[in-house]
Each structure stands twice: as structure tokens, then as C-alpha cells.
């Protein structure tokens, strides 16, 4: 899962990825090439960009909804996987090529994309906060136990 900093970088960079050609360029090291459904071309058409990690060479992320998918198999259909995992993605609802969008349509899409980003960023912040709270709770419990080894005898 992306960090908040990576998410912010993606938000800025991904605005250039409405273009199919720009998305396709990210798939230089994509592991699936021939005799499969999830070729770089099909992945890019479905809105994905390739964003591998050291542990996961097949991570793809929708430039629009920022949904990351990994564990691709050769016969996976990128459109179906995208729709299954993120049915409310604004990119999936596009009925026209990006170059044919009106300014109003583009602004509406960007607004949706920003809302997705803010929601995901908020979830990351909340998860980080919960982790810190859990760690603090454990540390306090350990401190209490070390100072009061057997509270029932007091």
C-alpha cells in the first residue's frame, strides 16, 4: 500500500495520465506480455499504470481512483478487475476519449479524483494514528506491569 507521500506524488503526476500513451509508457517492466489478457496495452486502456515495488513486480494502480491491484494472472481481464474492485471509479464511466472532454467534464472528473485522493489520504492518516495509539497503549501496559508485577496482592 502506498504511503501518504507516495499518494501525494501520484495525485500530482497522475493528472498527466489521462493519456493512454502516458499510461502505457509506465509498463516497461510489466511481467505479462504475450498470450494473456493483461498486456501493457490492455492495462493502460483500463486506466492502470505500473507501479511495482521490490516485493511485488505486478502492482498496477488506477491513475484516477488510486486503487492498487496486485497478484495479476495472465488471463485476468483488466477492465473486469477494475470494475470489480472499484465500481465507482470515474474513469470507468468515461464514455468519450479524454481529448474530447469539455472543460466542464474535465473539471468534474478532477473534482472526483481529488475526492478519491482525500478519502484515501484520510484513511492512511487514521490508520497511522491507530497504530500509534495501539503502540502507546502497549507501552503503557508494559510500564504498568513492570511497576505493579502482581496487582491482585496490593
Structural domains in the chain, sorted by start: 4-153 (1.10.1170.10)
Helix 4-14 to helix 103-147 angle, to the nearest 10 degrees? Answer: 170
Return the sign of the alpha-carbon dihedral for residues 121, 117, 84, 1. Answer: negative
What Å distances lie between residue 107 and 18, 103, 112, 114, CA to CA? 13, 6, 9, 10
Residue for grid cell 474492485: 85
pTM > 0.75: no
- pLDDT tens sequence across 105-134: 888 888 888 888 888 888 888 998 999 999
- pLDDT tens sequence across 43-100: 999 999 999 988 889 999 998 888 899 999 999 999 999 999 988 888 888 777 777 7
Amino acid at each position: 500500500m502506498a504511503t501518504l507521500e507516495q499518494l501525494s506524488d501520484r495525485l500530482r503526476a497522475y493528472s498527466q495520465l489521462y493519456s493512454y500513451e502516458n499510461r502505457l509508457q509506465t509498463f516497461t517492466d510489466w511481467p505479462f506480455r504475450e498470450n494473456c489478457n493483461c498486456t501493457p496495452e490492455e492495462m493502460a486502456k483500463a486506466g492502470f499504470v505500473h507501479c511495482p515495488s521490490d516485493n511485488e513486480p505486478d502492482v498496477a494502480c488506477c491513475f484516477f481512483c488510486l486503487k492498487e491491484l496486485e497478484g495479476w494472472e495472465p488471463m485476468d481481464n483488466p477492465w473486469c478487475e477494475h470494475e470489480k474492485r472499484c465500481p465507482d471509479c470515474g474513469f470507468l464511466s468515461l464514455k468519450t476519449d479524454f481529448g474530447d472532454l469539455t472543460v466542464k467534464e474535465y473539471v468534474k472528473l478532477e473534482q472526483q479524483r481529488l475526492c478519491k485522493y482525500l478519502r484515501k489520504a484520510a484513511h492512511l492518516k487514521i490508520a497511522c494514528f491507530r497504530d500509534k495509539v495501539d503502540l502507546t497503549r502497549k507501552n503503557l501496559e508494559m510500564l504498568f506491569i513492570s511497576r505493579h508485577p502482581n496487582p491482585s496482592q496490593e
